[in-house]
Structure 1
């Protein structure tokens, strides 16, 4: 039988020349050596159904990128750092073949790179990104086998170490089968009849090692959504799990499942990740913890041990699922693939070294040490200066003609709280953080009685008196109900990049708003001071001028008890509900608290009142990767 098919493709070398020579990527590429360099090729394919309700229309696009460009830049669609190079035939055929053009990897090609110099570039296939069925297709094995190792098909649910595939042996077996010799290894290894795989002649390529960890398909949509969530629903029931998601407190950027999760019919990777942010606080488990460790951009031996321990904890306790009859077996391909994460990270991650350009590294290290010393000396000098002045400086006083708004924050029409004369500056908790307020307060000249009514701050006056006694002891004016305060509705914290999570700056918005007729107010949680004490921010305000000139805004907060030891089952820290007034720059990070719900959810609880009605909480270390690095990884 014969069938004609269409193969749409282009010359991938042309796109690689465009990417490696694009000056826009110069700052996102690692330093290019003189003369010769390697371009690690990253291929990705995903068979896509074009129509959901009509016909059998599908496409099989193939994408290409290079490892010289940073991960963040490759993820930006507008950057054109990942390009479409062709469509594979999507017909129901029994083979997957492609011409192997290997000369570019053997002899190299001269290209103009981003540094405007000509380099001989060797194109080496380094990674192939695909879902599990496509990995098996590329590896020429059946889907009941692992595309990376020779684990037996009925042992994939056990924490075993198996031999890896030998590409040379597999090519010989496929060649013998093609010639009609029928070797025993063909059936023993579960191979498919692919006689000329596209990777057979690619230089310096082990196709079985190019299958990298896939967070979306293996973790977010795979183990977590398809298995872990299903098991938990079977254990506690849809109604109770939905109730716990409904009362989850709000957090900036967090998807609130106001109707629960059982009503969601169409899931995407975004919903899976949003669910993981709070899932571990509702039900204990080690799989979400494994997912967060796997997302780190920088690993150490300690973090790899934590990654391995999280998987070991799951295997040590998984039999309870069999006893509860919510799972028949653990022979799950994507569960087995988690065992290859540590190996892939150890083999292919870039290892920091002092063997390359060591003189330049030594000079940079000494410059950093000198900069740290100068900064510390400057901060020590600031700490010896008075933090307030008894006179009123009209130049430091802001105007209150209009209110602060989201548009002002987004347009960066903000002023750092510390952007004043050093003589009026209080010591900062973290000099790397910048706290910004709008030019004008959102709620000018608010009386204490109004603050108590709208913000629920019954202890505000007492806390304000304590603040004046501690920080302005020479003040002779006694605060009372007649005083008015200019109140802001949010503060924006700009933090430097966390190299373990991303390369870009982080912007956190802590918004404290009063109750209105259309809905409840916002009283977000926050981490304060270097020891990460947990507080709920009620009011952000400026010191009235009659009490003196103060450089920073202040925040009225309600403290929770100090962080306790992590819960042994979930790894989360438990906190309970004192009030005080602190400097705004003592707030270092927003936080999310999950109420301790027990066997069932209190029927009075809603997402707006759980902070007031619940007595104990868990500090949610999994709300984002930055919080995870600050809290969960310090244990």
Structure 2
């Protein structure tokens, strides 16, 4: 008799599966099994893990000091009553029928009042921040050490166990956990997803099931469909805590909604979509094997992660926690109702993914209560209570980090490795008012350093960063009746949420905010306003109206005086042409000030910065500091009346911290409030529109649970190949794009002869010419102003056909003419984070209706093309600029002469050998031949990239009328090459300048 085969079973609960891989998936999804497995691994791995309790003896010897409650009314956490008790009578309506409100559970009872806690008196990690790892075994290279970007030379952490898994599970990535629901059927999912995401009411949605084509669907009614959707797995649960604020007359009860931060971390680390974009250990990146210049890009390339790894020791995986929050209006029509969402992401995931909302790498962790605390009559007490309310809520949300940052937790990561991860607060993304609240400082003070008020306008001085111990000592003095210290240091009387968080110096967490500090702040609110006052509003309008148009560049056709309130997007758009507008004015200090700020601004927006770039940023600040007095005038209202007024502009001072934070956490692209502003759409604006606007937070959470369930199912369908979702970034797609771009024998634009880099795009042209195949030469001469088209075509053909060949080309010859072509560039080898880039080259006339109104403006773009006479040069000097007047090809009966597309170009002279010292811009002018524009015909394949030429306005006759339709590329004859027109052009020109 054959012996029965025993099925694999779980050693924790006894459940059987068909395979051992199935047992592993079962354990990873069963909460009870996960808990028991975690305890088992903790016991097994305790001997190989180094303790993370730093300075324990000193902490035990330090006497505890209880902070007395502040003068403001107390803020207390209380247990939330069950949904069916005291709040049942409210009857909050629910517009989203797919919500499972039973999963929104009350949290555990929290008895002690939040105002009666002990503040720490020392930073246990301060003494070890700069220590290197000692006595590390030599075990070869780090298993995860590989270049994050092309042309970078990484140095792994010396400890080979840094970020390494304790053990591996055999995770079958091709077979994720199956959904036991018809909604996972690839034939049903698209329709069901579409139906549940329709912005219609429930009654209209139910009509779908009465259609003849849907009677045989898996659901016969809307109710059945909703029940099936409610069965979908959701993300981590929501909890509600009540916060009681005692006022002068009554008590106000507020609700804090939050999720478990540990569960969100597990969710991010276990997502298989992030495997190609995740790092578990720090690295140092260099520009060459000599390690002369260090490079900073992602968070794992910064110094902070390296220090934390040294502190935690062997088999530790650092998880940098990135928190962001921002109070925002529900909608402009909401009656001033606001929401205060808090978001969470981790630095292990690449910033390219974190910045993309559809990737769901940044998750909502809570909603802070928003209240004006009108039950507190005294204004000072009300302000202090609002500050304390914010810190109390953040302390509740981040409470698990007080333990997990020291002890760690075992997490099954997406690659199958079980790691001991240590989540540590690394960055808090916020605008300046919120940064001041977080750091417990006055709005007029710097939340990062101890610089006094009378020194903030001096950009050449540096002060130490604020530290936790000094802040807490000052607060203790205040609670004990001595308030002079906090008044001198600009500290608010608030018990901070970060007081007990291990390894956290909050001043080190307040990373740069590109949107509010730089784009909209220093440039939009100050430099732009001051420059307009110096040049004059009319002159600024005149120059912006006549600015030549360029791809993806906003054109201010009505000037800038009509804009009353600048957004960050508008300010950044104007900054791309601002240097060209200001260049050449009769005030050289103004030009220097604009150049230094813009160069600093565009360098800060780059995805990769070397030590050379950081030193250049510091030099930019020193240049601006030397000439900033140009914006001081005792009588002009828009300017500063005294130099000391610079001391009150905290945003300008904040620029002095940028290079420090870049060295600590990498480039600030992934740490900007632009990300938070975009997330508000998905987590505030849209959920708000689904509610009845009465107690909306709970309804918004129900809607978000529904959307999160669909997102998880959609990701599952994509991972299994059942549904292709193009919103998800995949390395395969990137590789496919790269494979089609450019010739195979030249990689990433490198010259075949081993010389300096130059662009080598692939040209895309429509199969059928937009203007037809029978466009006469006369039409191109008259409408496109291709004056010398016929002789230029003849000259070109003579260079490619045998001598003596008959060339029957005349103005009556018909051509195939296209309106535009595209130049597809592969990622730059020196800045691949910018990704593939596409230049549009347009050549078509203005079209109007019967009334003479312009329907579509005409464009004749400027490009760079390579000339054989410059073949031995490098960088920009290797190319010439030319204005494209026509993109065409010879007719079919002349294709024996030349069959490839051609382009008619009006040439410009070679660019200046060096950029102007005052503007850092290259110059050029029209190339003339016998008093006429010099034009040539070249193959379309000779085009290398588009460029933006801007008139040198100071050489233009001030009486010349300029409007948005004026073609200054034809009217004027001298130009600047605008290197700020796009991030791609700025990166290319910066690279060429470094090579030169």
Q: TM-score range by the shorter chain?
A: 0.7 to 0.9
Q: Is the 8 A contact 1:246 1:260 kept in 2?
A: yes
Per-residue displacement from partner, 1:304-331 (whole Å, max 9, x unpaired)?
1221222222111111211474223212
Tell me which of 533, 542, 558 is aligned to 1:259.
Answer: 558
Give the alignment of 1:388-537 within 5 angstroms: 432-443=760-771, 444-474=773-803, 476-478=805-807, 479-498=809-828, 500=831, 502-517=833-848, 518=854, 520-529=857-866, 531-537=878-884
Q: Are the structure 2 counterparts of residues 538 and 416 from structure 1 closer, same or farther at C-alpha, using a change threshold of 3 Å?
A: farther
Tell me which of 200, 211, 220 is aligned to 2:519.
Answer: 220
Tell me which of 871, 885, 901 is aligned to 1:553.
Answer: 901
Q: What is the CA–CA distance in structure 2 between the aligned matches of 1:542 and 1:506, rounded to whole Å?
A: 26
Cα displacement (A) at 1:31: 5.8
Q: Where does residue 538 of structure 1 map in the other structure?
A: 885
Report SS of the residue matched to 2:554: coil
Q: Where does residue 167 of structure 1 map in the other structure?
A: 468
Tell me which of 926, 931, 953 is aligned to 1:597.
Answer: 953
Using the size of structure 1 for normalisation, the TM-score is 0.83
Q: Where does residue 290 of structure 1 map in the other structure?
A: 600
Q: Are the structure 2 counterparts of residues 304 and 607 from structure 1 closer, same or farther at C-alpha, using a change threshold of 3 Å?
A: farther
Q: Are the structure 2 counterparts of residues 311 and 580 from structure 1 closer, same or farther at C-alpha, using a change threshold of 3 Å?
A: same
Q: Is the 8 A contact 1:573 1:618 kept in 2?
A: yes
Equivalenced residue count is 564
Higher mean alpha-carbon deviation, 336-345 vs 26-35, is at 26-35
Higher mean alpha-carbon deviation, 517-526 vs 66-75, is at 517-526
- Structure 2 residue 935 is matched with structure 1 residue 579: yes
Tell me which of 233, 242, 247 is aligned to 2:541.
Answer: 242
- Structure 2 residue 492 is matched with structure 1 residue 192: yes
Q: Is the 8 A contact 2:323 2:428 kept in 1?
A: yes
Tell me which of 616, 621, 624 is aligned to 2:979.
Answer: 621
Q: Is the 8 A contact 1:605 1:613 kept in 2?
A: no
Q: Where does residue 404 of structure 2 map in the other structure?
A: 104
Q: Are the structure 2 counterparts of residues 82 and 68 from structure 1 closer, same or farther at C-alpha, using a change threshold of 3 Å?
A: same
- Structure 2 residue 310 is matched with structure 1 residue 61: no
Q: Which runs of 4 or more aligned residues in structure 1 lie more than 6 Å from their structure 2 counterparts after TM superposition?
A: 415-419
Q: Is the 8 A contact 2:524 2:566 kept in 1?
A: no
Q: Is the 8 A contact 1:249 1:607 kept in 2?
A: no
Report SS of the residue matched to 1:580: strand
Structure 1 or 2, whichever has the larger Rg, is 2
Q: Where does residue 346 of structure 1 map in the other structure?
A: 663
Q: Where does residue 722 of structure 2 map in the other structure?
A: none
Q: Is the 8 A contact 1:591 1:619 kept in 2?
A: yes
Q: Are the structure 2 counterparts of residues 607 and 497 from structure 1 closer, same or farther at C-alpha, using a change threshold of 3 Å?
A: farther
- Structure 2 residue 632 is matched with structure 1 residue 322: yes
Q: What is the CA–CA distance in structure 2 between the aligned matches of 1:82 and 1:342, rounded to whole Å?
A: 25
Cα displacement (A) at 1:52: 5.1
Cα displacement (A) at 1:176: 4.0
Cα displacement (A) at 1:32: 6.3
Q: Where does residue 569 of structure 1 map in the other structure?
A: 918
Q: Are the structure 2 counterparts of residues 168 and 535 from structure 1 closer, same or farther at C-alpha, using a change threshold of 3 Å?
A: same
Q: Is the 8 A contact 1:475 1:547 kept in 2?
A: no
Q: Where does residue 387 of structure 1 map in the other structure?
A: none
Q: Are the structure 2 counterparts of residues 553 and 228 from structure 1 closer, same or farther at C-alpha, using a change threshold of 3 Å?
A: same
Per-residue displacement from partner, 1:132-181 (whole Å, max 9, x unpaired)?
11111111111121111111112211111112112222223323433x15
Q: What is the CA–CA distance in structure 2 between the aligned matches of 1:601 and 1:573, rounded to whole Å?
A: 26
Q: Are the structure 2 counterparts of residues 52 and 153 from structure 1 closer, same or farther at C-alpha, using a change threshold of 3 Å?
A: farther
Higher mean alpha-carbon deviation, 312-321 vs 500-509, is at 500-509
Q: Is the 8 A contact 1:174 1:193 kept in 2?
A: yes
Cα displacement (A) at 1:117: 2.4
Cα displacement (A) at 1:431: 7.6
Q: Are the structure 2 counterparts of residues 528 and 576 from structure 1 closer, same or farther at C-alpha, using a change threshold of 3 Å?
A: same
Cα displacement (A) at 1:430: 5.7
Q: Where does residue 133 of structure 1 map in the other structure?
A: 433
Q: Is the 8 A contact 2:865 2:881 kept in 1?
A: yes
Per-residue displacement from partner, 1:32-68 (whole Å, max 9, x unpaired)?
6996422111111112234657755332211111111
Q: What is the CA–CA distance in structure 2 between the aligned matches of 1:51 and 1:24, rounded to whole Å?
A: 33
Q: Is the 8 A contact 1:39 1:121 kept in 2?
A: yes
Q: Is the 8 A contact 2:908 2:924 kept in 1?
A: yes
Q: Are the structure 2 counterparts of residues 607 and 292 from structure 1 closer, same or farther at C-alpha, using a change threshold of 3 Å?
A: farther
Q: Is the 8 A contact 1:417 1:553 kept in 2?
A: no
Q: Is the 8 A contact 2:557 2:964 kept in 1?
A: no
Q: Is the 8 A contact 2:546 2:962 kept in 1?
A: no
Report SS of the residue matched to 2:443: coil
Report SS of the residue matched to 2:563: coil
Per-residue displacement from partner, 1:551-606 (whole Å, max 9, x unpaired)?
64221111111111322322221211121122222222111111111274720554
Q: Is the 8 A contact 1:512 1:524 kept in 2?
A: yes
Using the size of structure 2 for normalisation, the TM-score is 0.54
Q: Is the 8 A contact 1:127 1:211 kept in 2?
A: yes
Q: Where does residue 403 of structure 1 map in the other structure?
A: none
Q: What is the CA–CA distance in structure 2 between the aligned matches of 1:347 and 1:418, rounded to whole Å?
A: 39
Q: Is the 8 A contact 1:280 1:570 kept in 2?
A: yes
- Structure 2 residue 623 is matched with structure 1 residue 309: no
Gap regions ≥5 residues in structure 2? 1-72, 74-245, 247-251, 283-313, 373-385, 583-590, 668-736, 745-751, 849-853, 867-874, 927-933
Q: What is the CA–CA distance in structure 1 between the aligned matches of 2:568 and 2:537, rounded to whole Å?
A: 21
Per-residue displacement from partner, 1:352-386 (whole Å, max 9, x unpaired)?
xxxxxxxxxxxxxxxxxxxxxxxxxxxxxxxxxxx
Q: Are the structure 2 counterparts of residues 56 and 442 from structure 1 closer, same or farther at C-alpha, using a change threshold of 3 Å?
A: closer
Q: Are the structure 2 counterparts of residues 462 and 31 from structure 1 closer, same or farther at C-alpha, using a change threshold of 3 Å?
A: farther
Q: Are the structure 2 counterparts of residues 495 and 506 from structure 1 closer, same or farther at C-alpha, using a change threshold of 3 Å?
A: same
Q: Are the structure 2 counterparts of residues 231 and 486 from structure 1 closer, same or farther at C-alpha, using a change threshold of 3 Å?
A: same
Higher mean alpha-carbon deviation, 198-207 vs 427-436, is at 427-436
